[in-house]
Structure formats: structure tokens, C-alpha cells
Chains A and B, each alone.
Chain A
Amino acid sequence: MILGNRQIKVDGLEMAYGSFVVMRNLDFTVEGGKVTVIMGGSGCGKSTLLRHMIGLLEPSKGSIKFGDFDFTAADESTRDSMKQSFGVLYQGGALWSSMTLEENVALPLQTYTQLSSSEIREIVEFKLSLVGLSGFSQFFPGAISGGMRKRAALARAIALDPKYLFFDEPSAGLDPVSSQRLDDLILQLRDTLGATIVVVSHELASIFSIADHAVYLDAETRTMTDQGRPSDLLEKSPHPGVREFLSRGKTNG
């Protein structure tokens, strides 16, 4: 593949639904092999930004580059092959409900590799064991709990050893312990796969524990106001809104 470096560069991005502009002037870089969190209040456009980054929505202006590769300008078939290096964990897991966990994880492998079915089964078992779900391969998504579903979806997302991993609110709807486990998993994946990880979140505990870098989207001004390490942002951000967000609204001005 053309991907030497694993950086993601968002350049002058503007996102709009029809004539309604959600966010404009987004400029930031997601460093390769690091965890970057996109944070902000509810409804500020975090998930919309994620959907733009993975190619589900088209930006009205600007570009997104993966390494040296302009994703927004690429044609469909190039983009399809690019997408094989993505792994996405959706809010609700989005496991294919008519397939067992094994089939869910196996589908990307069957589609993109020439492996034999016994090899695929071994890989699937391995991926499921990475997320702590060995023994559940014959379960259907409807028969397991929400936290397990998310972990199974994560196993599917890492099936092809992706270079880029995207998480849409990984801790949403999980109890503190499961959410902590998922955070640990994210960090382990960063260290073992060397994947570039983008997480959309508004869970402070999770932001502080996993983020190497954070980008704050502001709903009022409809753009990003600040970026940096969350702990630095909490102390030194010139924007009161960012400090307020990171301290649960306890500091004022």
C-alpha cells in the first residue's frame, strides 16, 4: 500500500447537511500510532466528523489525508481499497444481526484475504480471545450483553489488523468497569498494532486515561477551539469553554 506514515491530516474541513453548516475550518493532525480524542458537548458534530473521516459523508469543503493520500479526492474503487485499512467501532456495535460472532469477524477476512476457512477460524478465535470473548463464537449478537457486543464489534474492527481505528463513543451505555476495560483495550491496541486511533467521546474519565491528543469541537462557534494533551488543556487552555468542559463545568472563566 502507499501508506508509509500513518498520520491523518484534516485540512480546512467544512461539514454541512444541505445548507446547514455543522462545523467549519477544522484543521488538525492525528499523529500516527497515537490516540486522538475528538471531544465536545452533545450535538456539536463529533460523530458527524467521524463519519466524514471514514467516508460515509462527503465534506462540503476541505480535505482529509491519510498519510500522503488524499482520501476526499480519491475515486470510489481507490477509496474502497483504502477502507480495508480502517477499523470502525460504532456506537451500538453494529454487528450484523443475522450472523454469529464468528461469522461477523470472519466476513472481512473472507472478503479480503485468500485464507482457507480453517485459517480464518483460527484468526477469528484469536481476535475474539483478544477482546475476552473466546467461547462465544457461535452466539448471535442478540444473545449477548451490550458490553460484550461492543467488544465483539471491536474484534471485527481489528480483524484485518487495521492501520486506522475509529471509535464512536466507545463507553456510551457501558458500566464504569466495562468502559474501563474497553479503554485499556484501546491502549493495548495502540501499543501492539501500532494503529492510529481516533476516538469520539465526551466521557472525561476515558478522555484523560486514553488520549495522547485531544481536539475540542465547540457547538457555539461551530469550529474547533483548541487541541493538545487533555491535562495541558485543562490547565492552560486560553478558552474557558475547553477548561469548563474538562472540569465538568466547575471552573468559570
Chain B
Amino acid sequence: MQAEAQKASLEVSPLNNDGNVSIKVCGDWILDTKLPDRKELWNQLPSEATATLDFDFSSLGKWDTGLVVFLLGCIEESVRRGVQINQKQFPDGVRKLIDLSQAVPEKQTGRTEEPTSFLQTLGHNTREVLEGVNTFLAFTGEVTMGFARIFGKNKVFRPIDFITILYQCSAAALPIVGLISLLSGLTMAFVGAVQLQKFGAEIFVADLVGLAMVREMGALMAAIVMTGRTGASFAAQLGNMRVSEEIDALETMGIRPIDFLVVPRLIALILVMPLLCMYANVVGIIGGYLVGVLMLDMSTHQYITQTFKAMSLNDLFSGEIKSIFFGMVVAASGCFYGIHCGQSSAAVGRAVTRSVVTGITFIIVVDAVFAVIFHILGI
């Protein structure tokens, strides 16, 4: 067994006539044991008249980085105070490590962290936000131009890529969109049924589920699922391409990353979202139907007739039109953060988070705007 570690300590001798103070370093100086405080050492020094510090290492046991860092701190402080430290007595290994650490002087990179005031931080953040808005506007402009260029002479459009993207954000998304829509249809019908039963108006569960799905929930649920699924995957994929310099490679080849990567994704989602929305509507209504038939003892015919009676074509259109815009929001937020991703894997993570958060936020905003517009138009 190893011997119990000796506690590290310092013994400071009184000032001698030459202004020397001798400090005896005792015990084991190991990092994770409690080491003496450097500030206390300076407080223990006899007087301002101290000119030289002599360290005595004769009673030193084991030592590691703990001792070296302690001594380095002492040397730094001694320079500030104009006190000499006699480094000759330092153990060989300690002296070599100290020399090594001081061999290359600290580089003035001009990047030292300086404490900033609240106003500075505020100004800095405001500028960052404005720059972000500026970048986004530039992105929107470039994407619009990219759309125009598809029909131009120098188009860069690979049908195979487009079909792959189309598959990934349509057929591959059906199970999860279906599940979420079915569950939201079920839940709405169930909660509605409990309330409506009190008035004996269970039949109106069909109205409730049908209208809510078609006007709001179908488009919204599909869009939110697609933000988490496809928007995030766009951000991660493009972000990774940025990290591995694949986007740089496109740029230096004179191929615009916007045309090549963003436009196909945007088109794919704009095409697919209304279809997904329609699918979500149907599955959601099936959810309501299950509650209606199994829990409320309605007949299939009754439920379907009631659902069709409740909805008009306008209701259907209002959901479909919104879903086109939701598609734009999902694709744009995913691609925007992916393309503007930093050059590290941490930056990819940030890009994905931001794309999802921004995507969902803007979906809700767009939804609210449409609610107002439809209200004014009386749809």
C-alpha cells in the first residue's frame, strides 16, 4: 500500500538582514489534495521590505502540476510586486517545466476577452440581429433569382436529386404525419365528445373534427412534423456540406449553391405540402370517425354525411393555401441555416436547432396572418 499523503504546507521564516525570506515547501503537492492558497503566502510575508524569496524544497514529497502552477503564479505575482524569486533551488523537473511554459511568449492576438458593458452588449446584439435580417433578405432575393434561373440557359438542375428530395419529404414522411394527425383527430373528437355529450349534441363531433382538421390542424400538424423532420434534415445536410467544404467546392466551380441546393428543396416542399396537408386532413377525420363510431355509437353513414355537411370548399382551400406557405417556411428556414452554417460540428447543431425553432415560430406567425386575412375576406 502507498503511504498516506503528507499534507502540503508552507513555512515562512522571518525576514533576514539582506531582505531575504526563506519559504520551506513541505509535504506532497498533488493536484487533487488541498494546496495552500497563494494569496495567503503573500499576506504572510513579513513586510514590504521583502526583496528576495528563497524556496526550500528539502522537505518536498511528491509533486505534480499543482506545484508548478503554484510557483508560476508566485513568479507572476513577484514580477508585479518587484520581488525577486530565486529560481535556482527549484527541483530540476519543475524548473524545466517552467522554462518550457515560458519559452514562447504570449502572443498578442488582439483577441483578449475584455469585459463589456451592458450597452456594448446591447449594441452588439442589435447589430447582430440587423445583420441577420440583412442576410435573410439577401437569401430571399437570391432564392427568387434562383427560381428565375431554372428557366434560364445556365440551369443547374439534376432531376435525380430532385426526385430523391421529393421522395424523402413526401412518401417517407407519410407514416409520421399520419400517426400525428390520427392522434390529434382522436384527441379532438374525444375531448369534444365529453363536452358535447352533456348537451346530447354528440353528432357535432363530426363538425368539430372535420372543420378543425381542414381549416387548421391538418396543415399545422403536417407543417410542424415536417419542420422537425425535413427542415432539420435540410439544415443538417447543408450544414455538413458547408463543414466538409462541399459548398465551397460548388462556389468555386461557379455553380450557385442556392440554385443547386436550395431551389430544388424549396420546390419539392411547396409541391408536397398541400398533398401532405390533404392526407393529414383525411387521417385526422378518420381519427374522429373512430371515436364517433366506437364511443358515441354513431353509424358510418351518419358520421360521413355530418362531416360533409359541416365543410365547405372554402374551408378546404383555406387549409391548402396555408400549407403552400408553410412548405416555403419549412424549406427556407432549413436551407437558410444550413447554408449559413459555421465551419464546425457544433455549428451544425446550432443550425439545426435554429432552423426548427425559427420554422415553427414562423409557421405560427403565418397561420395567424392568414387567420386575419381569411377573416377579412369572410372565408
State the CA gap A110–B111 with chains docked (Å).
46
Given contacts A81-B254, A111-B255, contact A88 B156 (CB under 8 A): no
Q: Which of A19, A55, A79, A90 is B245 in contact with, Cβ under 8 Å? A: A90
Residues of A within 8 Å of B255, CB to CB, are 107-108, 111
- Chain A: minimal CB distance from B227 (Å): 22
**Is there an interface contact between B252 and A54, defined as CB atoms closer than 8 Å?**
yes
Given contacts A91-B245, A92-B244, whether A56 and B111 have CB atoms under 8 Å apart is no
> In the complex, A94→B250 CA distance in Å?
9
Are B156 and A111 closer than 8 Å at their CB atoms?
yes
A83 near B254: Cβ-Cβ < 8 Å: yes
Partner of A94, one of B154, B244, B256: B244
CA distance A98 to B252 in the complex (A): 19
B86-126 CB contact bits vs A (8 Å, 1 = yes)? 00000000000000000000000111000000000000000
Min CB–CB distance B180 → chain A (angstroms):
28
- Cross-chain contact B248 with A94 (CB below 8 angstroms): yes
Q: Is the interface of A mostly helix, strand, loop or mixed?
A: mixed
With beta carbons under 8 angstroms apart, the residue of A79, A92, A98, A111 that contacts B253 is: A111
Residue of A with least CB distance to B110: A20
With A94-B244, A111-B154 given, is the CB distance from A88 to B254 under 8 Å?
A: no
Nearest residue, chain B, Cβ from A106: B158
Do B252 and A55 touch across chains, with their CB atoms under 8 A apart?
Answer: yes
A80 touches B254 (CB 8 A): yes
Interface string of A29-70 (1 = CB under 8 A from B): 000000000000000000000010011100000000000000
Which residue in chain B gives the minimum CB-CB distance to A88?
Answer: B252
Is B297 positioned at the interface, with any CB of A under 8 Å from its CB?
no
Are B252 and A96 in contact (CB-based, < 8 A)?
no
Of chain B, the residue at the smallest CB distance from A51 is B248
Please tell me if A95 contacts chain B, counting CB pairs below 8 Å: yes
Residue A167, interface by CB 8 Å: no
- In the complex, the 6 A-B pairs of residues with the closest C-beta atoms, listed nearest first: A83-B254, A94-B245, A80-B254, A94-B249, A90-B245, A88-B252
Contacts A54-B252, A86-B252, A88-B253 aside, 9 further interface pairs with beta carbons under 8 A come to A20-B110, A80-B254, A91-B245, A92-B244, A95-B246, A97-B244, A98-B161, A98-B164, A110-B158
Q: Which residues of B contact A (CB under 8 A)?
A: 109-111, 154, 156, 158, 161, 164, 241, 244-246, 248-256
Query: Can you show 20 pairs from A to B with CB atoms below 8 A apart?
Result: A54-B252, A55-B251, A55-B252, A56-B248, A56-B251, A56-B252, A80-B256, A83-B254, A84-B253, A84-B254, A86-B253, A94-B246, A96-B249, A96-B250, A98-B164, A107-B253, A107-B255, A108-B255, A111-B154, A111-B254
